Structure 1
Amino acid sequence: MTKRKNTGFIYVVATADTKVKELFFVSQLIAKTGVEVVTVDLSTQINPSSAGVDFPAEMIADLHPQGREAVFCGDRGKAIDAMALAFKIFIAQRSDLLGIIGLGGSGGTALITPAMQTLPIGVPKIMVSTMASGDIARYIGSSDIAMLYSVTDVAGLNRISRRVLGNAAHQIAGAVLFQQDENEQDKPALGLTMFGVTTPCIQNVSAELEADYDCLVFHATGSGGNAMEKLTDSRMLTGLLDLTTTEVCDLLFGGVLACDDTRFDAIANTGTPCVISCGALDMVNFGHATSVPEKYADRLFYHHNAQVTLMRTTPDENVRMAEWIAEKLNRCEGDVVVLIPEGGFSALDKAGQPFWSPEADRAFIDTLEADLKQTDRRRIVRLPWHINDQQFASAAVSHFRALVEKAV
């Protein structure tokens, strides 16, 4: 692979009042690779240490809707939130950003990563952080931020920090220098959602579509659905086969693999053609059996493995899910087809399996049909098969192709 000719900069970001040495150390290493670099200070106090920084803290703080006084307010918590917002506004204005690298502890990571999350998938993003060895979900969101554990605190240069920061500097430079150009001959991209209990469905759908489409499969674990939503909002997906919508169960009933309340908003925002189904709406996901809330003690469970406990949804819960989904889909003006697999919603929800409950499934189906406002562009189609049957997959593909042909 040859080096790419770049027009723009790698942005190196830190709070220069405490990390000025690290800021310039990393920027100098990147510059030696031939990539142009600029530095940004996100200190939450007016900072004389930022001499030589390309974008001082005062310049960033001035972008806050209430001005720099909202940032330099003397309250650390409020200041971090305000500077994070100002930095998001700053990043949104940058048309010359090729990549971004942040350096920080807990405060710096909270300052930098919200803006990183707003950048498109594929723009190189590295966060060197003391927080990278713990739960980083809130820092990553649905983006492709690479978190690198700093090992020692980001508090000066030493034999460990120089190695870690050096690796990070060269990683971001390499990501920019050798970034792969998009191939204009690539097939259009589709988003598909899958869970272990709907795997045969998605495998069959992908097999029928892969000759014409680049099938991007998202694991329906909360972050997977959110990532697909982000790509849809960015108009990077031609269409969706959102056949595994189980994240809604966890959102409404306290499971551990929940989406957020923006689920399905992207198709409303963009009009992206979408075939939706009720894959794995028969279950709420918890961790180890001891983690299940006490209020659910008398429910039907399936112990998937030592760390995953599944709870069967009830008719009342299915009514609530159908109401929530219908309310969301009623906002969609683009083409949406909702496929109902009458033979069951997951591998566990079929005759002879632990979660088979026609009553619970019927509660979902009847409520959705009552609440969804069907139009020429928003329809429900009942199918007599199980979601993992080949016939269901073929029907999903047929309906999707019809939507695409209609859009042409």
Structure 2
Amino acid sequence: MLDVQGLEYAWIRDRLKSLGAEVVLVDVGVRDEPVVHPDVPREEVARAGGTGPDGMGRGAAAVVRRLFRGGRLHGVLAIGGHVSAAAMRELPVGVPKLMISSSGDVSPYIGGADLTVMYSVVDIAGIDRISSRVLANAAAAIAGMATGYAAGRPAATADGPIVGATLAGVTGPGVSAARELLGILGYEVLVFAGGRSYEAMAAGGLLTAALDATLLELSTELLGGGPAAGRLEAAARNGVPQVVSPGGLDMARFDSSAPDRLAGRRVHTHTSATMVRTTPAESGELGHRVAAALRDAAAPTAVYLPLRGLSTLSAPGGPFHDPAADAALFDAVRDGLAGSLVEIHEVDTDLNDPVFGRAMADHLHTILTGFQARAAAS
């Protein structure tokens, strides 16, 4: 915002130019007049997205997308703020994105993007002996990253179609078995430990297909542990063929102890996290949510149900083993998907049995083979 931090942005611009970089200065200010002349004025940003912080965020995103498509943008640097972060998140994975922030919690800025945050130590309110060093480092960092990006993308580790797979510690063995088979079949598998990054990749059109076997965010959200970050939405909406399994829906994850309102529930503590077992009623609700999200998927979709457990904790003999709760979830999925084009496959193993992982991978390969053949014929 060039009305509040115009002098600091001008200092960074001059530093970047001294490093040989070309700079496009975009103003997303909404209050006073800018104290430095921008290359893209706020009026142009507002025309692209509307006024107010949300509108300026949309406008800034439109501006950076246009600059990127025109070959004029190889990196973005901003001093912390939701508007700038929203614009950065619109750029493809791999485009350098650097934010300078004095905030202690930057997770709302990052979302699922490959956005790097540099802590400013002091508030960015003038150029002093600390901020000048931080800003200089930021300028050098983005100049180096942009130069590398402009020189060309690094060679891929594989040239096959890209499959996104979701994983947590409690679903690791099953997903690993699926990943191994997919690699043999010629796919490059990107494993996501969090659904937010996975959803961002699916929304960005970067995945050929998805093996979404870990839905822990949905059950955590249901029990009040945090938002689910739009889980199951992007692939279904953007036409990504997928195989989905309800891995992790047998529990909610809390980063510390479970809330007092869940006292008396079955819990399992793992390092710094506490897992709470979902009840039959909660499991049924989760099954309905999964079915509702997948029912109208825009590409071939299959759901795999592991009849003997959804994780390492709910497999037979595990602390969360509860056939009644699992059955409630399975029944809700069946009911919710009845009459739809989504296939349901039931396997008499737990999710982490290698047989289950390989079955998911093999079916995803079958889906993709048919999907690509139909696309080539059309």
Instruction: Normalising by structure 1, report the TM-score.
Output: 0.84
Determine the structure 2 residue equivalent to 1:215: 189
2:75 is the counterpart of 1:99? yes
Determine the structure 1 residue equivalent to 2:353: 389
Contact persistence 2:2–2:29 (CA under 8 A): yes
2:240 is the counterpart of 1:275? no
Query: Residue type of the partner of 1:177?
Result: T
2:325 is the counterpart of 1:360? yes
Alignment of 1:77-96 (within 5 A): 79-94=52-67, 95=69, 96=72
Contact persistence 1:47–1:57 (CA under 8 A): no
Query: Residue type of the partner of 2:335?
Result: A
Q: Where has structure 1 moved over 6 Å in runs of 4 or more? A: none
Determine the structure 1 residue equivalent to 2:82: 110
| Partner SS state of residue 21, structure 1 | helix
Contact persistence 1:316–1:363 (CA under 8 A): yes
| Post-superposition offset of 1:273 | 1.2
| Partner SS state of residue 216, structure 1 | strand
Of the three residues 164, 167, 173, the one matched with 2:143 is 173
Instruction: Normalising by structure 2, report the TM-score.
Output: 0.91
Q: Which runs of 5+ in 2 are unaligned?
A: 373-378
Percent identical pairs in the alignment equals 33
2:39 is the counterpart of 1:54? yes
Determine the structure 1 residue equivalent to 2:375: none
| Partner SS state of residue 324, structure 2 | helix
Contact persistence 2:243–2:302 (CA under 8 A): yes
Determine the structure 2 residue equivalent to 1:186: 159
Distance 1:397 1:281 in 2: 20
Distance 1:357 1:206 in 2: 28
User: Over aligned residue pairs, what C-alpha RMSD do you find?
Assistant: 1.9
Decide which moves more: 85-94 or 163-172: 85-94
Determine the structure 2 residue equivalent to 1:122: 94
Q: Which runs of 5+ in 1 are unaligned?
A: 1-14, 71-78
2:282 is the counterpart of 1:317? yes
Distance 2:348 2:317 in 1: 17
Contact persistence 1:46–1:58 (CA under 8 A): no
2:314 is the counterpart of 1:349? yes
Distance 1:270 1:60 in 2: 27
Determine the structure 1 residue equivalent to 2:179: 206
Contact persistence 1:50–1:56 (CA under 8 A): no
Determine the structure 2 residue equivalent to 1:43: 29
Of the three residues 244, 247, 259, the one matched with 2:214 is 244
Query: Residue type of the partner of 1:41?
Result: D
Contact persistence 1:248–1:321 (CA under 8 A): yes
Determine the structure 1 residue equivalent to 2:376: none
| Partner SS state of residue 351, structure 2 | coil
Distance 1:164 1:23 in 2: 13
Indicate how the Cα distance of structure 1 residues 48 and 147 shifts in structure 2: closer, same or farther if over 3 A, else same. closer
Distance 2:249 2:181 in 1: 24
Indicate how the Cα distance of structure 1 residues 116 and 366 shifts in structure 2: closer, same or farther if over 3 A, else same. same
| Post-superposition offset of 1:119 | 1.5
Distance 2:368 2:60 in 1: 39
Determine the structure 1 residue equivalent to 2:134: 164
Contact persistence 1:348–1:355 (CA under 8 A): yes
Contact persistence 2:2–2:34 (CA under 8 A): no
Determine the structure 2 residue equivalent to 1:302: 268
| Post-superposition offset of 1:317 | 0.4
Determine the structure 2 residue equivalent to 1:21: 7
Distance 1:320 1:407 in 2: 31
| Post-superposition offset of 1:154 | 0.9
Distance 1:84 1:283 in 2: 36
Query: Residue type of the partner of 1:60?
Result: V
Of the three residues 237, 249, 259, the one matched with 1:293 is 259
